[in-house]
Structure 1
Amino acid sequence: MYVDIGNALSSVATPGVSCDSLERLDERVADAHERIERGITDREFGYAALALPEDTDADVIETAVEPLDDIDVDAVLTVGIGGSALGAATVSGALGPGSAGTFVLDNVDPRRTARLLDDLPLADTAVHVVSRSGTTAETLANFLVVRDAYEAEGVDWTERTVVTTGPDGPLRTLADEEDLPALDVPDGVPGRFSALSTVGLVPAAIQGHDVSGLLAGGQAGRESLSGSLFDCPAYALGAISYALEERGASQHVCMPYSEDLEFFAEWFAQLWAESLGKDGLGQTPVRALGATDQHSQLQLYRAGRHDKQVTFVRPREHPAVPIPETDVEGLSYLGGSTLGDLLDAEFEATEASLAAAGLPNVRVEIDRLDAESVGELLYGYEAACVLAGELMGVETFTQPAVEWGKRAARGLLGGGEFEEADAVAEKQRLLVE
């Protein structure tokens, strides 16, 4: 992974960070790195995520999905929510469908769920259901609906389902009763940090992707961690993001220049928001897609408030798709180049346009969209997030605001007595009809 923070310097952008400020900040980065290293070594809660490339066993995952070899799998359906789904979607989205298409049920919208199950060839669809607690209402509700759809078509769902969950709970009980392949969620790892584990890698394994390569890429990211932001791409990203927020960049736009990284932007949004949005702090993550959103959001970024950091993410290599030659006036300049050339030109022009407008932006690049590079990218962003949390002084690995909402919803559904549910009846109303 390569990170260029030149366009976030105060000589280019407002807000921006001076070189002297970065040198001073680097002393704090060194201290934070020591804390992170201790956490990784001791496998402390949260910090254990940065040990996943070493602790995740690719062979265990490959063995768990082997029973699916007897089925002609054309589609893989992940049933989960938040970190239990986004990591898998990001990995499979970045690497492509492989031998089977990627589908995700991570919401309880009845129209979407019904439409997806109507469209999927269930006899040829593998299911990966993920819940650490085994009690996540949205995940279990969707899984019950999925199971019912299989039974209605006379398809044996037990032959097509892999479970990833904790040691206890109803999902683990179901897996034991039905003799389903069951994997353990990693200890001490919040869901949003679990992409390089059983949680995120099962669909990739079913699709025939290189799980060992993904972990090797993550390990390369692990080995790149050092006590200086000037020597570590992940820490450069985390430190500059922290420094820009301190100076007023309250929004962080993640803009990949690859449609295969569109899920990555969604994954980033959860990682950044849920980890750093505490104590009145935290950048609001914004998802964009290059070059598409040059035609929808760029106007705001160039001419709107300077309260944003834009981070571009792209692979350096693209498939060769030539643009045909043409004699049409005004189009002939395109002939002889490729779509990749055009995408790169769009990227560089957008980057330069933001710098010209004085808006801070950061460039993150990987060599290509292969297993090793994707694994390193995911690890790098996780390490960047952890460092930013250390510098901000927040509890990076907790999500109390999310848990509040979960308790309220469960109380409304009759899943127990929770005082948070009472807040619903106390809603202030001013209805206009």
Structure 2
Amino acid sequence: MHVDLGSSLDATPGVSRESLERLDGQVATAHERIETGRDNHEHGYEALNLPSTVDLDAIRTAVAPFDDAAAVLTVGIGGSALGAATFADALAGPNDPDAYFLDNVDPEHVSRLLDALPLDRTVVNVVSRSGTTAETLANFLVVRDAMADADVDWTDRTFVTTGESGNLRSLAEKHDLPSLSVPDGVPGRFSALSTVGLAVAAIQGHDLEAIRAGAADAADGLSGSLFETPAYAYGATTYALAGRGAVTNAVMPYAERLETFAEWFAQLWAESLGKDGLGQTPARALGATDQHSQLQLYRAGPRDKLVTLVRPRDYADRTIPETDLDGLSYLGGSSLGDLLDAEFEATEASLVESGVPAVRVEIDAVDERSLGSLLYEMEAACVLYGELAAVSTFTQPAVEWGKNAARGLLGGGDFEEADAVDERTSLVVE
């Protein structure tokens, strides 16, 4: 990952080189804490050890029975799906099994997807650390029922990724299903580089060693200075800008294949850092599409935003044909890549001209090694931000509150959070 902070230095809000130099001492202290957490395999910090701890052979063994798959359906939610979806959407080729994700319980969407899938050639990956996630298990029960209706033996087409105990583990043992263990000490949103995120990539035939190598390169590059570590440069700068009022971080990839990466980033950033009235709200945009919509707000709206521009340095290009149409001849003979690069540069310049802070993040290419590095470094950036802000990066109490409320409403236990639903004030206009 290559990070250019230049477009954030003289913005409003912005940071200066001098303020970053002062902050660098805090970065060094935070880095020591992170390294201690990694060395001691502490909860959360263990995620940054995944390049050396993930068992790629176990992943290959679990998915080996499904080498005939035409499609892979992951049933999970949040971190149980977004990492795998990021790799699938970024890397999938025309001959790879199609990847689908049931990460919502919208009944119409679930029904449409199951009606469209070739269930006899679909492998189902059910992902839940606890084995009790209501949305995941509900969707799995529906998938299993659809397979039965299609005269497909679900036990021949299913593997699970779960903890050492719980409903899914018991199910796997009862039916002798292939299974993977989620790593200890790794919150779901930090699990993309583990069994949770890599099983789908394995089924699609992607290079797991290259993904791990990219992450390992990033891990080896962590140092105690933001001026030497791209991950820390990004984490420290976003933290500093948030403290100066840039409380929204609009992540804008200039590659269609990285659009899901922005979704993965949004969960990582929001769930990890939104604590105690602090944090930075992630927004998702796509270049050049959203230059024609959201950029208006970024330039001319409230001065509370940072824009993170993401792009690969190398990509397959396509020539624009020559034309004699009035006013369009300048396009002929150039390429779509030239146009996209011009749009990127113009967007960054327009933000600078209007005083809006921007950070440029570039990767070498949208390939396995670069993605492994990108996801690892964004996780490290998030952990650093959490250390600097003194928030509990690896917990999610607000999320747990909502889970308890929903479970109580469905009769899954006696949860006081469910009582708040009946106490809600309403003002109905019909």
The equivalences for 1:353-432 within 5 A come to: 353-432=350-429
Q: CA–CA distance in 1 between the matches of 2:87 and 2:222?
A: 22
Q: Which moved more, 1:15-24 or 1:26-35?
A: 15-24
Aligned equivalent of 1:312, options 290, 309, 313: 309
Q: Deviations over 1:23-47 (max 9, x none)?
A: 1100000000000001111110000
What secondary structure sits across from 2:413 in the alignment? coil
Q: CA–CA distance in 2 between the matches of 1:427 and 1:301?
A: 34
Q: CA–CA distance in 2 between the matches of 1:319 and 1:101?
A: 21
1:146 corresponding residue in structure 2: 143
Give structure 1 stretches of 5+ with no counterpart: none
2:62 corresponding residue in structure 1: 64
What secondary structure sits across from 1:332 in the alignment? coil
Matched, 1:47 2:64: no
Q: Deviations over 1:367-411 (max 9, x none)?
A: 001100000000010000000000000000000000001001001
Q: CA–CA distance in 2 between the matches of 1:44 and 1:58?
A: 22
Q: CA–CA distance in 2 between the matches of 1:420 and 1:387?
A: 32
Q: Deviations over 1:313-340 (max 9, x none)?
A: 1111111211111121211111112211
What secondary structure sits across from 2:81 in the alignment? helix
1:269 corresponding residue in structure 2: 266
**Alpha carbons 1:273, 1:282 under 8 Å: kept:** yes
**Alpha carbons 2:407, 2:413 under 8 Å: kept:** yes
**Alpha carbons 2:144, 2:154 under 8 Å: kept:** yes
Aligned equivalent of 1:78, options 60, 74, 77: 74
Matched, 1:181 2:185: no
Query: Amino acid of the residue matched to residue 176 of structure 1?
Result: E
Q: CA–CA distance in 1 between the matches of 2:393 and 2:33?
A: 13
**Alpha carbons 1:252, 1:285 under 8 Å: kept:** yes
Shift of 1:239: 0.2
Matched, 1:92 2:88: yes
What secondary structure sits across from 1:208 in the alignment? coil
**Alpha carbons 2:92, 2:204 under 8 Å: kept:** no
Aligned equivalent of 2:284, options 287, 291, 307: 287
Q: CA–CA distance in 1 between the matches of 2:159 and 2:342?
A: 43
Q: CA–CA distance in 1 between the matches of 2:17 and 2:96?
A: 48
Query: Amino acid of the residue matched to residue 24 of structure 1?
Result: R
Q: Deviations over 1:98-141 (max 9, x none)?
A: 51112110000000000000111111211111000000000000
2:8 corresponding residue in structure 1: 8
Q: CA–CA distance in 1 between the matches of 2:227 and 2:17?
A: 11
Q: CA–CA distance in 1 between the matches of 2:174 and 2:326?
A: 69
What secondary structure sits across from 1:129 in the alignment? strand
Q: Deviations over 1:133-158 (max 9, x none)?
A: 00000000001101111110011222
Query: Amino acid of the residue matched to residue 253 of structure 2?
Result: P
Shift of 1:93: 1.0
Query: Amino acid of the residue matched to residue 4 of structure 2?
Result: D
Q: Which moved more, 1:226-235 or 1:340-349?
A: 340-349
User: Where has structure 1 moved over 2 Å in runs of 4 or more?
Assistant: none
Q: CA–CA distance in 2 between the matches of 1:129 and 1:259?
A: 27
What secondary structure sits across from 2:342 in the alignment? helix
**Alpha carbons 2:270, 2:281 under 8 Å: kept:** yes
Q: Deviations over 1:282-341 (max 9, x none)?
A: 011100000000011001111111100000111111112111111212111111122111
What secondary structure sits across from 2:411 in the alignment? coil
Matched, 1:164 2:161: yes
Query: Amino acid of the residue matched to residue 393 of structure 2?
Result: T
The equivalences for 1:319-338 within 5 A come to: 319-338=316-335
Shift of 1:13: 0.5
Q: CA–CA distance in 1 between the matches of 2:118 and 2:345?
A: 42
What secondary structure sits across from 1:38 in the alignment? helix
Q: CA–CA distance in 1 between the matches of 2:89 and 2:6?
A: 30
What secondary structure sits across from 2:365 in the alignment? coil
- Given the two structures, how large is their TM-score scaled by the length of structure 1? 0.98
Query: Amino acid of the residue matched to residue 90 of structure 2?
Result: A
Matched, 1:132 2:132: no
Query: Amino acid of the residue matched to residue 37 of structure 1?
Result: E
Q: CA–CA distance in 2 between the matches of 1:117 and 1:337?
A: 43
Q: CA–CA distance in 2 between the matches of 1:26 and 1:417?
A: 48
**Alpha carbons 2:315, 2:365 under 8 Å: kept:** yes
Q: CA–CA distance in 1 between the matches of 2:65 and 2:177?
A: 10
**Alpha carbons 1:96, 1:260 under 8 Å: kept:** no
2:226 corresponding residue in structure 1: 229
2:338 corresponding residue in structure 1: 341
Give structure 2 stretches of 5+ with no counterpart: none
**Percentage of matched positions with identical amino acids:** 69
Aligned equivalent of 2:252, options 255, 270, 277: 255
1:28 corresponding residue in structure 2: 26
Q: CA–CA distance in 1 between the matches of 2:3 and 2:175?
A: 47
Query: Amino acid of the residue matched to residue 84 of structure 1?
Result: S
Query: Amino acid of the residue matched to residue 328 of structure 1?
Result: L
**Alpha carbons 1:217, 1:372 under 8 Å: kept:** yes
Q: CA–CA distance in 2 between the matches of 1:96 and 1:340?
A: 20
Matched, 1:17 2:27: no
Query: Amino acid of the residue matched to residue 80 of structure 2?
Result: S
Q: CA–CA distance in 2 between the matches of 1:100 and 1:61?
A: 17
Q: CA–CA distance in 2 between the matches of 1:371 and 1:386?
A: 23
Shift of 1:57: 1.4
